[in-house]
């Protein structure tokens, strides 16, 4: 009976546990900027929730790119991209984080 109880506890922990992983981090080239240029870091994060292999939103990467461009009226450089995944029971969430240096004169 004790073995059955232990197995049931371990099985329930396995079903409710979640994990997280960073798949990819990309950093674009670093531009040397003149001293008189105004700079500001801008960042966005979008996600897609997948249940049993069915994606809810497939354009989340384009959405992140569009949001990053909307936050900056000048030029965006030194962009870093992170692709992260959080795994849940029979589902997972994919996230994209974009961070860039907005430069304007």
Q: Tens of pLDDT along 60-105?
A: 999 999 999 999 988 888 899 999 999 888 889 999 999 999 988 6
Residue 3 included in any domain = no
Domain residue limits at 28 = 18-104
Residue 69 included in any domain = yes
Instruction: Give the integer Cα–Cα distance in Å for 23 and 95.
Output: 10
Residue 12 included in any domain = no
Residue 4 included in any domain = no
Per-residue model confidence (pLDDT) at position 13 = 58
Residue 83 included in any domain = yes
> Quick check: helix, strand or coil at residue 25?
strand
Alpha-carbon dihedral angle through residues 11, 12, 15, 17, given to the nearest 10 degrees: -110
Residue 10 included in any domain = no
If one counts the domains in the chain, the total is 1
Higher confidence at residue 36 or residue 96? 96
């Amino acid at each position: 009976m004790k073995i059955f109880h232990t197995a049931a506890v371990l099985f329930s922990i396995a079903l409710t546990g979640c994990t997280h992983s960073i798949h990819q981090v990309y950093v674009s080239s670093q531009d040397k900027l003149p001293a008189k240029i105004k700079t500001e870091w801008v960042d966005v994060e979008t996600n897609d929730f997948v249940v049993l292999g069915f994606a809810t939103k497939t354009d989340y990467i384009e959405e992140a790119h569009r949001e990053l461009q909307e936050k900056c009226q000048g030029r965006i450089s030194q962009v870093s991209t992170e692709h992260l995944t959080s795994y849940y029971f029979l589902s997972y969430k994919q996230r994209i984080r974009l961070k860039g240096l907005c430069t304007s004169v």
